[in-house]
Amino acid sequence: MVLEIPKIRLRDGLEIPVIGFGTVFLKGSEGVLAIRSAIEDGYRLIDSAYNYENEGTLGEAIRQGPASRNELPVTSKLPGRYHGYDEAIKAIEESLFRAQLDYFDLYLIHWPNPKEGKYVEAWKALIDAKKRGLVRSIGVSNFLPEHLERLDKETGELPVINQIEMHPFFNQSSQRRWQEERGIVTEAWSPLFRGRGLLGDETIMALADAYGKTPAQIVLRWHHQHGAVTIPRSSSPERQRENLSIFGFELSGDDMKKIDGLSRPDGRIDDQDPAVYQEF
Ligand SMILES: NC(=O)c1ccc[n+]([C@@H]2O[C@H](COP(=O)([O-])OP(=O)(O)OC[C@H]3O[C@@H](n4cnc5c(N)ncnc54)[C@H](OP(=O)(O)O)[C@@H]3O)[C@@H](O)[C@H]2O)c1
């Protein structure tokens, strides 16, 4: 049975489901199987990136899967080494050729790389790529308010979405509030903490028991009630379906606060602070 997933409308009119599918590390024929099974299960938003080196896999899974192109929004991201204007346009074209797609629905700058200081130039390239129809909607990933403010000041155009690390151990409450006030949708990467212990946390497990749900469903429901789009990854069809089944229950305000209380300043997965982290 294919589940209907609620949608959210971005500021520029693009509608995307509130849960998509993450694809980092999913490559080759195993990757095709995992992504195709996600599409068969009803995922209608696929997250990828130049640096995941799986655009060929992604394109193959889309061709094999049951969804038509116009009902399956696809995201990709620009790596730091191509922040120069001309390089950025070529990188987008290369990604499209590899995936054998005509356009990306969403295209993001992967990291701001503030020490390099070229993210405004990259943003201008994305604005033009959109005008040329290479991409439908443009956004960023891992941008702090200071980076977003600079984009606004120098180009007059703010991203419609910012994909940031967000899970109960690092809940991004102030960044999310800042974005909400400006109509920027928050998309959460590594929502399940990459399988590194969050799902065995005592508070999460107790809530799973109380609601008769799995720990992953509790965590993804918490994201949803905070208004964030999530993109959990799983190579197991059962867990892919489990992660989509979060719409038949609601966490109480007190239980939301319990999960909020797990956040800590050093709760990032690999200590990747966008103010200093560089990704090429
Ligand atoms: N913009 C960025 O800088 C950035 C950074 C990181 C990630 N991302 C994106 O965000 C996506 C999601 O993040 P992620 O892949 O790092 O990690 P994640 O989705 O938080 O966690 C994936 C891990 O959780 C396990 N898992 C999934 N569902 C489960 C369930 N129901 N019960 C138990 N375990 C479960 C998976 O194992 P199984 O496969 O065995 O189920 C896998 O090991 C990525 O794939 C990528 O598209 C973006």
Residue 111 Cα: closest atom of ligand 1? 3
Q: What percent of the chain has pLDDT over 70?
A: 99
141 pLDDT tier (thresholds 50, 70, 90) = very high
Q: How confident is the model over 161-180, as a mean pLDDT?
A: 98
* Distances, alpha carbon 133 to alpha carbons 29, 31, 121, 129, in Å: 30, 28, 19, 6
Q: Is the CB of 189 under 6 A from ligand 1?
A: yes
pLDDT band at 2 (very low <50, low <70, confident <90, very high): low
Name the residue of 24, 35, 164 whose CB sits within 8 Å of the most ligand 1 atoms, as the mutation to test its pocket.
24
- Give the pair of three-digit tokens for residue 251: 């966490």
Which range is least confidently modeled, 1-15, 44-58, 234-248? 1-15
pLDDT band at residue 4 under the 50/70/90 scheme: confident
- Which of 43, 50, 52, 119 is flagged as catalytic? 52
The b-or-e profile of 29-49 (16+ CB within 10 A means b, else e) is: eebbbbbbbbbbbbbbbbbbb
Q: Mutation test of ligand 1: which of 57, 234, 241 has the most ligand atoms closer than 8 Å to its C-beta?
A: 234
Across residues 82-92, what is the average pLDDT? 98
Q: Which of 255, 269, 153, 170 is nearest to 204 (CA)?
A: 255
User: Quick one: which of 253, 273, 271, 269 has its CA closest to 261?
Assistant: 253
Residues with Cβ within 8 Å of residue 201, at least 6 apart in sequence? 168, 215, 262
Q: What is the rounded radius of gyration, in angstroms, for the C-alpha atoms of the chain? A: 18
List pLDDT tens digits, range 178-208. Answer: 999 999 999 999 999 999 999 999 999 999 9
Q: Would you state the pLDDT for residue 1?
A: 60
- Taking alpha carbons only, the member of 35, 110, 42, 43 closest to residue 76 is 110
Q: Which amino acid is at 267?
A: G
Nearest by Cα to 4 from 32, 36, 43: 43
Q: Nearest-CA neighbor of 107 among 180, 160, 65, 183? A: 160
Instruction: Tell me how far apart the alpha carbons of residues 22 and 16 are, in angstroms, rounded to a whole number.
Output: 14
pLDDT digits (tens, 9 = 90+) for 226-256: 999 999 999 999 999 999 999 999 999 999 9
Residue owning the nearest CA to atom 47 of ligand 1: 22
Q: Rounded to the nearest whole angstrom, what is the distance from the C-alpha of residue 157 to the centroid of ligand 1?
A: 30
Mean pLDDT of 111-122: 97
Pairing between β-strand 15-17 and β-strand 74-78 as defined by DSSP bridges: unpaired
Residue 237: enclosing H or E segment and its boundaries? Answer: helix 237-244
SS3 172: coil
Q: How far is it, in rounded angstroms, from Cα 254 to Cα 262?
A: 13
Cβ atoms of 88 and 51 closer than 8 Å? no
Residue 232 Cα: closest atom of ligand 1:
19
Where does residue 254 rank: exposed (0-12), middle (13-18), buried (19+ CB within 10 A)? exposed
Ligand 1 atom nearest 217 alpha carbon: 31
Please tell me if the CB atom of residue 239 comes closer than 6 angstroms to any atom of ligand 1: yes
Q: By alpha-carbon position, which residue is closest to atom 8 of ligand 1? A: 189
Does ligand 1 have an atom closer than 6 angstroms to the CB of 225?
no
Any atom of ligand 1 within 6 Å of the Cβ of 199: yes
Catalytic annotation on 52?
A: yes
